[in-house]
């Protein structure tokens, strides 16, 4: 609410229980407590979102709802009836499932068949280990359960998104409401298994699905959450606005960035981004509205796009992407020919590395991000 929202329900922490709200939960500005034995965050977030939509409808004014589900972030907590839908569905293993997903992505037109799928666990890192072939896994049922619970968490989120869309229809607001859905990052490989003797699912457990299944989630890309290779920063984005978007289910390959969400909201609201907040000059808006794409037109894209998180950096200009992990040397990839980042061209085209690194340095200075230390 300090950032301009009128109402708030959620948690100020992270990686929290889905069944027992902790001390960081708030309703507006007050601590939130409940005696509801059926409490589950994904349902609860939706319950309060629906109340907000009812309140907004009474005011007969435009509204903005930001609904940030914590699903499917760890810990792996899900309702038994949802888990039961998926038990046994992952017994074929991550190698087969990854290949099936890759082929399905090509068939759907989401990726180009000329992009080869990255190797299983292609990048080792000190935070997560190697991924064995499925045939070498000793407890396959335990691994099946990990992914079944993860899938159940996504299923419950899907059910609740359906509740939101149904409410918009009930309020006769669905045609003139822009709905944008996106994930915040790629699959998470980190092991935070605090209850190894308690299987995932119930409130008393605290488990993660670890790098093998994160590798499946990120098919066909390399690396994971936190990194700026495509496995970390390429995420799903879906938009629905029947009054403007006439080709339902269409796929666009125009490049967008999360900074475009703010620009899009401003465009829809017909307002300007401020130059100062509370008397302090702020960094100018860098996003571009997505509305031309929603309307089926070709948008003039960004000259360049930038990423930085935990010293993992990237810059993309046109088809070229420059990326590195920490202070390692820059890697250069052709996103049109090689979006799965298999063939580093940095040594072959040093002038392009220099050009993009210079753009990154200028952006890092402008936005106070981590610099590349000359690598």
User: Which among 214, 233, 208, 80 has a CA at the least distance from the CA of 156?
Assistant: 80
Burial of residue 200, with CB atoms counted within 10 A of its CB: 0-12 exposed, 13-18 middle, 19 or more buried? buried
The token pair that represents 74 in the structure block: 């760890």
Can you tell me the distance from the alpha carbon of 102 to that of 111, in angstroms, rounded to the nearest whole number? 9
Can you tell me the distance from the alpha carbon of 193 to that of 190, in angstroms, rounded to the nearest whole number? 9
How much is the pTM?
0.95
Q: Domain limits of the chain?
A: 9-240, 303-375
Can you tell me the distance from the alpha carbon of 242 to that of 217, in angstroms, rounded to the nearest whole number? 30
Which fold is adopted by the domain 303-375?
Answer: Arylsulfatase, C-terminal domain (3.30.1120)
Can you tell me the distance from the alpha carbon of 2 to that of 193, in angstroms, rounded to the nearest whole number? 34
Chunked into runs of 10 residues, the chain (375 residues) has average pLDDT values of 92 95 96 96 98 93 95 98 98 98 97 96 74 96 98 98 98 96 94 95 97 96 95 94 93 95 96 94 94 95 95 96 95 97 98 98 91 60
Can you tell me the distance from the alpha carbon of 259 to that of 369, in angstroms, rounded to the nearest whole number? 15
DSSP letter at 134 equals: G
Q: Is 267 helix (H, G, I), strand (E, B) or coil?
A: helix
Which fold is adopted by the domain 9-240?
Answer: Alkaline Phosphatase, subunit A (3.40.720)
Can you tell me the distance from the alpha carbon of 352 to that of 339, in angstroms, rounded to the nearest whole number? 17
Can you tell me the distance from the alpha carbon of 219 to that of 70, in angstroms, rounded to the nearest whole number? 22
Buried b (16+ CB within 10 A) or exposed e, 294-332: beeeebebbebbbbbbebbbbbbbeebbbbbbeeeebbb
């Amino acid at each position: 609410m300090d950032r301009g929202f009128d109402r708030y329900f959620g948690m100020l922490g992270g990686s929290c229980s889905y069944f027992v709200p902790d001390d960081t939960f708030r309703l507006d500005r007050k601590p939130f407590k409940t005696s509801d034995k059926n409490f589950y965050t994904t349902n609860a977030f939706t319950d309060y979102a629906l109340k907000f939509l009812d309140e907004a409808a009474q005011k007969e004014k435009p509204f903005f709802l930001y609904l940030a589900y914590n699903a499917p972030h760890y810990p792996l907590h899900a309702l038994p009836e949802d888990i039961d839908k998926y038990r046994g569905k992952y017994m074929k293993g991550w190698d087969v499932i990854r290949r099936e997903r890759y082929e399905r992505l090509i068939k759907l037109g989401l990726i180009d068949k000329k992009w080869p799928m990255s190797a299983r666990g292609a990048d080792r890192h000190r935070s997560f280990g190697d991924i064995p072939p499925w045939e070498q896994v000793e407890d396959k049922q335990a691994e099946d359960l990990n992914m079944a619970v993860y899938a159940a968490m996504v299923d419950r989120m899907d059910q609740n998104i359906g509740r939101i869309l149904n409410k918009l229809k009930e309020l006769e607001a669905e045609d003139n409401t822009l709905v944008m859905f996106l994930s915040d990052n790629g699959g998470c490989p980190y092991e935070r298994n605090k209850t190894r003797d308690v299987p995932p699912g119930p409130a008393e457990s605290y488990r993660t699905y670890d790098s093998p299944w994160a590798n499946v989630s990120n098919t066909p890309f390399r690396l994971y959450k936190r990194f700026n290779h495509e496995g970390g920063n390429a995420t799903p984005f879906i938009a629905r606005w029947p009054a403007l978007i006439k080709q339902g289910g269409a796929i666009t390959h125009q490049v967008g960035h999360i900074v475009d969400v703010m620009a899009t909201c401003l465009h829809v609201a017909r307002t300007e981004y401020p130059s100062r907040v509370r008397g302090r000059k702020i960094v100018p808006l860098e996003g571009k509205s997505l509305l031309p794409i929603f309307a089926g037109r070709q948008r003039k894209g960004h000259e360049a796009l930038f990423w930085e998180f935990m010293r993992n950096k990237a810059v993309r200009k046109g088809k070229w992407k420059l990326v590195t992990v920490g202070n390692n040397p820059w890697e250069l990839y052709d996103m049109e020919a090689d979006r799965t980042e298999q063939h580093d061209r940095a040594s072959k085209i040093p002038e392009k590395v220099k050009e993009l690194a210079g753009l990154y340095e200028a952006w890092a200075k402008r936005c106070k991000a981590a610099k590349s230390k000359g690598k």
